[in-house]
Amino acid sequence: MRTQVAIIGGGPAGLLLSHLLHLQGIDSVVLESRDRDYVEHRQRAGMLEQGTTDALRDSGVGERLDREGLVHHGLELRFGGAGHRIPLTGLTGRTVTVYAQTEIVKDLVARRLADGGDIRFEAEVVDLDASAPRVTYRGGGETRTLDCDYIAGCDGFHGVSRPAVPGLRTFSRDYPFAWLGILAGVRPSTEELIYASHDRGFALHSLRSPTVSRLYLQVPPDEDIAAWPDARIWDELAARFATGDGWKLHEGPVTDKAITPMRSFVAEPMRHDRLFLAGDAGHIVPPTGAKGLNLAVSDVIILARALTERYATGSETLLDGYSDACLRRVWRAEHFSYWMTTLLHVDPAATAFERRLQRAHLDYVASSEAAATSLAENYVGLPIE
């Protein structure tokens, strides 16, 4: 079997890359180790930068996004018992949109299959050769080999692609806290996201739809989720979101609950021979800045442009510059995510002096247009090179 581009991983990065290549007449095969139902229902973040929504619309998969996505023009920083709105659109002219990653995956799977795309679910990659290049995988009780011109490793942090790159240099940071996240079947208590910094720890009020809320609490990284019955979660959320004006948190049935550790990670370079890493295969960010999915999208946009140039002209100039182009954006997003995380969370090892510095910085961001603009510019997303 042969294709032009073998794509390992059927998440939003791999599926969008396959779609973008199809629009340019480039063949690809997507190999996904999980079944379709799992891929379309695994819960992930859903805050989309302006560049991500533009890319989905421009490629023809934005119809349901435009119909069901919740466009946000601002966010709230809440600390000291008061809220401080950051007017994202007013400061940057751009927006962010809440649209669950599960829905993006459903849209892309449906579109690729409608276009005759080749997505092979339950296809576990067992070997790959970045020089030949080829991918060997198991599926349907058989082991098969797929020859190709290029391989795109879009298979996440625990996938097989990154270990296949020799001589990687990695950079990482583990944070001394984690997020306890819940989905709740209740009308959101806010129309825009609330990022709360409290002496008891960070809290985030997000939303999935007009009837579904997504909320998070800072907890220790080794916390046992069994120690958090629903009633305790709601009590703690109410305490961390409390304001002096009587704001009320809507409570409802918890439908999903999980604890997620916080980590920053970057691998360099993001290319080896004819293998290209994209998304979580090459980098991860703490979720505070909502950059993970958006970085994956920018990676595959850059890769799709480079592959399009290669097949159209024979030039590999953009392919040769892929890793550097991606990493410039990755490191900016890593810094922003680190900055947001350290600004809003309680570090258990922080001194009283450091806590007062943190509060002074929050006051500055909330009161300075220049500081708020810097936050807003990074939050809505920088242009994709």
The secondary structure of residue 225, as a DSSP letter, is G
Q: Is 203 helix (H, G, I), strand (E, B) or coil?
A: strand
Q: Out of 12, 19, 22, 72, which one is annotated catalytic? A: 72
d(CA 84, CA 36): 42
Q: What whole-number distance in Å separates Cα of residue 306 and Cα of residue 183? A: 39
256: which 2 tokens?
Answer: 């999903």
Cis-peptide into 210, omega within 30 deg: no
Neighbours of 347 (CB within 10 A): 14
Residues 51, 57: Cα–Cα separation, whole Å: 10
Give residue for tokens 């961390």.
240
- 216 tagged catalytic: no
195 has catalytic annotation:
yes
Q: Which of 99, 137, 150, 195 is catalytic?
A: 195
> Which residue in 12, 133, 188, 287 is the catalytic one?
287
> Any idea what the Cα angle at residue 320 is, between residues 317 and 324, rounded to 5°?
120
**Is 41 part of the annotated catalytic residue set?**
no
Q: For residue 1, what are the contacts with CB-CB under 8 A and spacing of at least 6?
A: 29, 144, 145, 146, 147
Active-site residue 248, yes or no?
no
322 is catalytic: no
The CA-CA-CA angle for residues 278, 279, 281, to 5°, reads 75
End-to-end alpha carbon distance in the chain: 34
| Contact in structure between 294 and 13 (CB atoms under 8 Å) | no
Q: Which of 205, 283, 291, 345 is catalytic?
A: 291
Active site residues: 72, 195, 287, 291, 379
